[in-house]
Amino acid sequence: MSDLVLLRHGQSAWNLSNLFTGWVDVPLTEQGVQEATDAGLLLKDFRFDVIYTSTQIRALQTALLAMLKNTSGKVPIVRPYPPATEEEKQHTEWYTIYGEAAKHNSIEVIRDWHLNERYYGELQGMNKKETADKYGEDQVHIWRRSYDVPPPNGEALKNTAERTIPFFKDTIVPLLHEGKNVFISAHGNSLRSIVMYLKDFSPEEILKYEIKTGQPLHFTYANGAFVHREM
């Protein structure tokens, strides 16, 4: 049996300011740091083999802060993001760990854009209340809470699911099938779409499902089936 933990990042600076964030890369607030640390206390006795995060700093910060409380004694090592140029490719080789003891005592942290937050398009950076004043509360509610109606030039939850679920099935499930324990630190909507797959929720059901910041979700995996465990 393998463990899978999903964790929504702690409060970010734009969560605090009530702004649509999406793919804009903003850090955690002090409260967000505390939420990530508190989540780490809940996860302190888990033994993870690999950590996945989105490419966004708030998710990476959350994972690393949570792991500070882990009692395994292993060190999270952030893998370089895939290089864009030949020079960058050469430099990624400089991150290689040659010491066998250090390698054994580390946990790989892999960033992947498939886990990024839902892209809010032209709403990014806009205040949610001011957006409601401009477009109307009903329209903004549809953009935020419908399954397949995207904001202007952005993603609906359906579009987010179309990238997160195949990634999860192709990348994460094989690791769990090998018996590895996986920790994913990501975002409200990218995780909701994964939960939709794990719990076999309909689009209507997942729209009512809330994932709070800094509160881990624990699933076990065995014989091809996922079971949600209370923390």
Q: Spell out the long-range contacts of 174-178 with Cβ–Cβ below 8 A and sequence spacing 24 or more.
A: 175/2, 175/49, 175/50, 176/2, 176/4, 176/221, 177/2, 177/221, 177/224, 178/2
Both tokens assigned to 225: 């089936």
Q: Are 117 and 213 in contact (CB under 8 A)?
A: no
Whether 9 is catalytic: yes
Catalytic annotation, pick one of 9, 35, 114, 187: 9
Catalytic annotation, pick one of 35, 114, 117, 155: 117
Instruction: Give dist(CA 72, CA 46) in Å, integer.
Output: 8
Instruction: Give dist(CA 119, CA 156) in Å, integer.
Output: 8
Whether 117 is catalytic: yes
Catalytic residues: 9, 117
